Structure 1
Amino acid sequence: MIRLNLDTNLEKYILSQRGNDKMKLSINNKTRTSVSIDYRAISATLSFSPKFIPGNNEDDLKGKSSYTDLSFRFFPKRFIQTFYYKKVKGFYVENMKDFVPDWQEADAYLQFPDLKVVSFGGTTSYVFNKNFSAKSVYTHSEWQKKSSGSWIPYLDYDVSFFTNTINEVKNKEVQYKIGANMGYFYNWIIRDKVNVAPYLSVGLGGQFSGSQENNEQKENEQFVTLRMEGGLHVGYNSDRFLFGGRMNFRAYTYQKNGEAVENNNLYGLLYIGYRFAPPKVVKNTYDKVQKKIPVL
């Protein structure tokens, strides 16, 4: 199965200090496209932000931004395993009026063109209810006939590298994060081919970071982190064609020197897909791998 996705990637970092205005750092790319390929228990997605889409090319005012995201998802039995790589570069201050009262929409934003975030991470989940099909929600590669829901606990973990250069001073921070989460997912089957699937999860974890300035160690820090995630999916699923939409949000926050640091992600997604018989080389290769790794 091949799916084409179009979504609004509204990723931003919010820095706030008690008694002071919040600084909202956002990327210039507001819309991204992605291509997903799914076969049996494996799903792969490549995402990027093309410049020809309106809203992705306001470089004169907001500076240049780039976004790349590559993810793999596996479904061994009732487990869900995801790995991902993400690279984001080029941020601007979204709320300029909070710092420059006479600032106008036609004026240039304060920019951080060298601010780059590179992340490697993953999640490991387990589906408690054997009658709930996670594949029918995530990749639509299974068919859920009756409405059902399930509690799904999961671990999330990643390492992120933040780099920036201001006035020839190079700054680098490495963050390690791990968290335990509990979520509830429900798949409501309205008709044989139409489903609505809401979910909500909350989590608690830890973050460990170390920073450098011009290759000199500055400090190591540890934080307790809070996370919330949720969304709603509506889709149509047939033997050959499938299409639908999603609205998701993610909120991640921790306290640092009296400041609340947040990473918020809100996006809507539209997708359309088509199923076709796999090439023999793909089927034969998968069958050979499955004999050695039965969970696939």
Structure 2
Amino acid sequence: MNLKSSVGLLFFLFTALAKAQTDTTRIKSYADQVMVRMNLDTNIDQFIFTEGPEDKQLETILMTNNKTRLSFSVDYRIISATLSITPRFLPGNNDNELKGTSSYTDFRFRFFPKKFIQTVYYKNIQGFYLENMKDLFPDWKEGKDPYFQFPNLRVQSYGGSTAYVMKKDFSLKSIYTQGEWQKESRGSWVPIMDYDLSIFRNLIDGQKSKETQYSFGGSMGYFYNWVLGSKKRVNIAPNISLGAGGMFSSSWDILDDGSKANRENTEYFIFKFSAGLHIGYNTDRFLFGGKFNVNANVYNETENQSVQNNNIFGLLYIGYRFPPPKVVERNYDKVQKKIPIL
């Protein structure tokens, strides 16, 4: 299924389920439990550069060569932490001869004070390849000829987002981290602010280059949680959001003596789109399910040049909840007295 088909399916589910919205709900909290999860996911970062008039557009698509990640997460009360790695023993991570080597690290925290959800993250990606070789080089043979590779292209991102749930009895936490379980179907509008600092570094033919991008924006999303079954243990939760923002970019070449040359400063208007679908099964102890999310940021460099950064994310998870060790509960209570927001 391609990107356009996936987005269309998610939008159809979103609109169909939103019509079934009810007015009452109950939420079961697992804040007093520790939840550990193991996740297996595909997380593809993609940059699409489009150049030329609409009837003669030329696309260049850069992608990372790590398709399957293993991550572990721990949740307790309002804190959620996840550490992700890309082990080489997983299928799909070993075609380095054709696509080169990529590395991917993602570390993020989520906090849930009141009706807010605060996310902060750090992401480090290195190693890209030219995905659409056949479009640019007709004689290229897939599976036999290597892709053009950019092993020194590195992207580091430091960022976060702040979301606010407008409906009192809607649990976004039940979709994000499964720290709660919503027992009756409900939907909510969710305004989101996001902010990011990304640093691009590259080395081509001995020439170093660097670019920093400061971006910020706002989106309005709608999330719906459809709860099924006689025991209310299954949920289907689609979401969609649209937004816009700005980006300030500064790029330059680094000479041998460390000085900067060919410096350029530019500003861009960014269009944002995201959609997702979560399907899960939940009991008080065991839980499992899957997610699919698409995020896209698009901006025009010139009248006939545009850049699109896509993140396509799919995940399968299995988890277990248990009462916290007394030492953890006691120390958390001490910290909470000093920091009431926790």
TM-score category, normalised to shorter length: over 0.9
Is 1:223–2:268 an aligned residue pair? yes
1: CA distance between counterparts of 2:188 and 2:262?
Answer: 46
Which residue number in structure 2 is paired with residue 143 of structure 1?
A: 181
2: CA distance between counterparts of 1:142 and 1:96?
Answer: 45
Is 1:198–2:198 an aligned residue pair? no
Q: What is the alpha-carbon root mean square deviation over aligned residues?
A: 1.0
**Greater percentage in helix:** 2
SS of residue matched to 2:92 = coil
Deviations 1:138-176 (A, max 9, x none): 111112121111100010000000000001111100000
Matching of residues 13-52 of structure 1 within 5 Å: 13-18=47-52, 19-52=56-89
Amino acid in structure 1 at the alignment position of 2:185 = S
2: CA distance between counterparts of 1:26 and 1:87?
Answer: 14
Gaps of 5+ in 1: none
Amino acid in structure 2 at the alignment position of 1:51 = R
Which residue number in structure 2 is paired with residue 127 of structure 1?
A: 165
2: CA distance between counterparts of 1:132 and 1:182?
Answer: 16
Which residue number in structure 2 is paired with residue 213 of structure 1?
A: 253
Which residue number in structure 2 is paired with residue 81 of structure 1?
A: 118
Identity in percent: 57
Matching of residues 161-200 of structure 1 within 5 Å: 161-191=199-229, 192-200=232-240
TM-score (norm 1): 0.98
Is 1:53–2:90 an aligned residue pair? yes
Deviations 1:161-214 (A, max 9, x none): 000000111110000000011000111111321111110001110000100101
Which residue number in structure 1 is paired with residue 41 of structure 2?
A: 7
**Structure 1 residue 247 displacement after superposition:** 1.1
2: CA distance between counterparts of 1:117 and 1:59?
Answer: 19
SS of residue matched to 1:288 = helix
Length, aligned pairs only:
296
1: CA distance between counterparts of 2:57 and 2:273?
Answer: 25
2: CA distance between counterparts of 1:169 and 1:43?
Answer: 41
Matching of residues 249-268 of structure 1 within 5 Å: 249-257=294-302, 258-268=304-314
2: CA distance between counterparts of 1:120 and 1:225?
Answer: 18
Q: 1:66 aligned to 96, 103, 119, which one?
A: 103
185-194 vs 227-236, greater mean Cα deviation: 185-194
2: CA distance between counterparts of 1:269 and 1:285?
Answer: 33
1: CA distance between counterparts of 2:322 and 2:151?
Answer: 43
Gaps of 5+ in 2: 1-34, 255-259
2: CA distance between counterparts of 1:20 and 1:79?
Answer: 42
Amino acid in structure 2 at the alignment position of 1:283 = E
77-86 vs 286-295, greater mean Cα deviation: 286-295
